[in-house]
A and B are shown apart, each in its own frame.
Chain A
């Protein structure tokens, strides 16, 4: 059974805090992605990584950074959380030469 696991389902953080969202996949996939989803805006790509220690900016990278030290783990970092980063965050793992694309359960982050 394929699995993409995000560390938290719900998270509440204070403005200015450093926030880590973790994503782990067990499919040996090369590519991993972080999206945020907001009403009316669909899924927007924040960052993606196609190999260990490699990262590429997506469409809305401002205010975020990422880390991929191991193939199975892709972390999204909010350096200083702000209220406009309150959102649903979704991690995706893609492999099999782009034939497999699975998502984690999502993390609903609220910044107060």
Chain B
């Protein structure tokens, strides 16, 4: 069975603060993919990043960065210098091998105050 845990439920920060969203996963498969999605108030799930289990390199995209560590089964997401537009619900998800389920964490509601 697979599982994704996002222990933080709500985070509130002031604009320009850095914030890290945690994601811990469980799977028995050796090949799997991890995803992060952003869900703004409009409701659509916006794809942010995909990482496969064989690639532990950290990734940076503008103010966003991701830290993947297989040793701790974590795939954490950091927003640097947060902005009000970053306010949304963020989901971490896992899919193992072919013909498998895409499993989500419960999501983290991020509020960035001006």
Residues of A within 8 A of B (CB): 31, 33, 35, 41-43, 45, 48, 50, 56, 58, 88, 90, 92, 94, 97-106, 108
A-B contacts, 5 of them at CB < 8 A, read A58-B101, A98-B33, A101-B50, A101-B95, A102-B47
In the assembled complex, the Cα of A101 lies from the Cα of B45 at a distance in Å of: 10
Name the 9 nearest CB pairs between A and B, nearest first.
A103-B45, A42-B106, A50-B99, A43-B104, A106-B43, A105-B44, A98-B33, A98-B95, A42-B107
Interface flag for B85 (CB, 8 Å): no
Residue on A with the closest CB to B6?
A42
Residue on A with the closest CB to B45?
A103
Q: How many A-B residue pairs have CB under 8 A?
A: 57
Residue on B with the closest CB to A90?
B45
Q: For A108, what are the chain B residues with a Cβ–Cβ distance below 8 Å?
A: 43
Give the Cβ gap from A42 to chain B, nearest Cβ, in Å.
Answer: 4
Contact (Cβ within 8 A) A97 B98: yes
Residues of B within 8 A of A (CB): 33, 35, 37, 42-45, 47, 50, 52, 91, 93, 95, 97-107
Give the Cβ gap from A8 to chain B, nearest Cβ, in Å.
Answer: 13
Contact (Cβ within 8 A) B104 A42: yes
Contact (Cβ within 8 A) A105 B43: yes
Residue on A with the closest CB to B104?
A43
In the assembled complex, the Cα of A5 lies from the Cα of B61 at a distance in Å of: 27
Give the Cβ gap from A86 to chain B, nearest Cβ, in Å.
Answer: 15
Residue on B with the closest CB to A104?
B44
In the assembled complex, the Cα of A64 lies from the Cα of B47 at a distance in Å of: 27
Q: For B98, what are the chain A residues with a Cβ–Cβ distance below 8 Å?
A: 50, 97-98
Give the Cβ gap from A61 to chain B, nearest Cβ, in Å.
Answer: 12
Contact (Cβ within 8 A) B95 A42: no
Contact (Cβ within 8 A) B52 A101: no
Give the Cβ gap from B69 to chain A, nearest Cβ, in Å.
Answer: 21
Q: In the complex where A50-B99, A88-B43, A103-B44 touch, is A43 in contact with B91 (Cβ < 8 A)?
A: yes
In the assembled complex, the Cα of A10 lies from the Cα of B50 at a distance in Å of: 29
Checking A41, A42, A48, A106 against B101 with a beta-carbon cut-off of 8 angstroms, the contacting residue is A48
In the assembled complex, the Cα of A101 lies from the Cα of B33 at a distance in Å of: 10
